Amino acid sequence: MTWLILVIISAISSSVSRILQKVLLKEKDSEPFAFAFVFQLLLAFLFFLYTFITKTLIIPNLSGVFLNLILMAIFYSLGNIFIYKAFKLAEASEASIIFASSTLWTVISAVIFLGDKLSNSNIAGILLVILGIIAVNYSRSKWKMNKGHLYALLGAMMFGIAFTNDAFIINRFTSISSYMLLSFFLSSITILIFRPNLIKGVPYFVKKNIIGKLLICGIFYSAMIFTIFEAYKRGGQVSIISPIQQSALILTVITSYFILKEKDRMANKIIGTILTFIGVLLLI
C-alpha cells in the first residue's frame, strides 16, 4: 500500500471522527476540556490494546528525543486549550479560518527541521488547500481582533509544529502504535495538569448513551493517526502529507450536509471544495 493511499484513508477516517466529535460536543453538558482528557486517554487505551494483541509494544532508547517528548506533550495539551479558548472568545468561523494556518506551520517546520523539499506546484497546491479551508469557514462578519483570534493562531502553531515534532520522534520507533500509546497518555496527563477541574465534566462521557459513540469516534481517530504516520514511514513528506490530510475538512463538510443537515454557506463550501481538490491534485 503506497503512502498516498494511506493518507487518503487517514483523511476519510479523520472526516468520520470529526463528525462524531461534533455530535459528542454539541450537547450543553459536554465540557470540551473533559472531552479532550477522556478522548486522549481512550486513544492511549486503544493503542495499548492494539500493541498488546499484536505484541508490538516496543519502546526504544529515547535519550536522544527526551526533549522532543516533553515538547510533544506541551504542544498538544496547549494546542487543545488554545483552540477551545479561541472558540469560546471568537466567532467559530473566524477561529476556524485562523486555525487553517496549522498546515502552513507544519510545512514551514518540516522544511526547516526535516529538510523537506517543495516544488513550485507543491507550494501552489498547499496554498490552494489553505484557501479552500478558509473559503469553507468564511462568513461575513465585522472582524474585531480579540484574544480569541490570538488563541486560534497559537493553537494552529502548536498543532502544526507538533506534527513535525512527531515525525522526528517516530523515526526512533519501529512500532507506530507504541509511540501513539506514549503520545496520547502523556498528552492526557498534561491536559489534566493544566486544567485539573476538568474532572467534574468526566462523568458525562462515561454514560451508557455516550460511551459507545465515544468508542467509535476513538477507533476512527486511531485509524486516522496510525495511517498518517505509516504514510510518513513509507516515504511521504510531512509537508505534503499534512495539507492532503487537512483536505479531510471537505469530506467533513459533505458528510455534515447529509448527516447533520448543515446547509449554511453552501456557495463558500462549493468554492472551498473546488480549491482544495485542485490543491490536492497539485500535491500528488
Q: Say how many C-beta atoms besides its own lie within 10 A of residue 263's C-beta.
A: 9
- Among residues 139, 146, 181, 178, the alpha carbon closest in space to that of 42 is found at 181
Question: Is the pTM value of this prediction over 0.85?
Answer: no
Taking the chain (284 residues) in runs of 10, the rounded mean pLDDT of each run is 86 82 77 88 94 87 84 86 76 69 86 86 82 71 71 88 89 86 90 89 88 92 91 86 75 65 67 75 72
Per the listing, cell 507544519 goes with 106
pLDDT recorded at residue 222: 94
Question: First vs last Cα of the chain: how many Å apart?
Answer: 15
pLDDT recorded at residue 274: 77
Phi then psi dihedrals of residue 8, to 5 deg: -65, -45
Q: Rounded to the nearest 5 degrees, what angle is found at the Cα of 39, between the Cα atoms of 33 and 41?
A: 105
How many residues in total does the chain contain? 284
**126 contacts 283 by C-beta, under 8 angstroms:** yes
Q: How far apart are CA 143 and CA 230, in angstroms?
A: 40
DSSP 79-113: HHHHHHHHHHHS-HHHHHHHHTTHHHHHHHHHHHH
**143 contacts 94 by C-beta, under 8 angstroms:** yes
DSSP 28-74: TT--HHHHHHHHHHHHHHHHHHHHHHHT-------GGGHHHHHHHHH
Counting DSSP H helices and E strands in the chain, the numbers are 12, 0
pLDDT recorded at residue 145: 67
Per the listing, cell 467533513 goes with 252
User: Where are the chain's structural domains?
Assistant: 3-283
- Among residues 274, 265, 279, the alpha carbon closest in space to that of 91 is found at 265
**Sign of CA pseudo-dihedral 224, 191, 104, 279:** positive
